[in-house]
Amino acid sequence: MADNHHRGLEIGTGLFVLLGFAALAFLTTQLPSSGLKLTGASAGYRVEARFDNVGDLKVGAPVTMSGVRVGRVDQVAFDATDFKAVVSMSIDRRYDRIPEDSDAAIQTSGLLGAKYIGLTPGGSETYLKDGGRIEFTQSALVLENLVNKLFSSIASKGGATTEAK
């Protein structure tokens, strides 16, 4: 009887480990760098945008418009002359009618998810092309900064009421 219990425990442990590997394989396919692949100059055109803060935006992160993936982040660099982050993106050639006055915002998947770039179309009759630049940008909201502002606001209100007494 004890031998059957021991064997059942081994089978259960094996299934648990196998399930863990399956979950790991699934999560690997959900990384921002997987999905739409742009290879070579003919697959897409490059545009850049400058941000005050990119948060933890990574190379390979999606570039979306209306929730549809239209490209990916190729490079994130720092420009020491104007102290901004420069993000280079590849946009799939199928999406060649994105107005040049569109704006780019760094957004988050879920509350603490990965960062990506969301494009909002402008109204211009001219379109982004290879080597173009998106002028209107919105930086990433960094959760730690928001929490610090909240606590400092609470602390300053608490200090004001204490002094008034």
Give the H/E segment covering residue 115: strand 115-120
Percent of the chain predicted with pLDDT > 70: 81
Q: In whole angstroms, what is the distance from residue 121 CA to residue 98 CA?
A: 7
Closest CA to 133 of 30, 19, 47, 20: 47
Displacement of CA 144 from its chain's centroid (Å): 16
- Average of per-residue pLDDT values in the chain: 82
* Between 113 and 50, residue with greater pLDDT: 50
Average pLDDT, integer, range 17-31: 74
- Compute the average pLDDT of residues 122-138: 91
CB 121 within 8 A of CB 114: no
Dihedral (CA of 131, 135, 141, 146) sign: positive
The domain locations on the chain are: 1-30, 44-146
pLDDT in tens, 47-104: 999 999 998 899 999 999 999 999 999 999 999 999 999 999 999 999 999 999 999 9
* 35 vs 152, more confident: 152
pTM across the whole model: 0.64
Predicted pLDDT of residue 32: 52
User: For residues 3 and 100, what is the distance between their CA atoms, to the nearest angstrom?
Assistant: 71
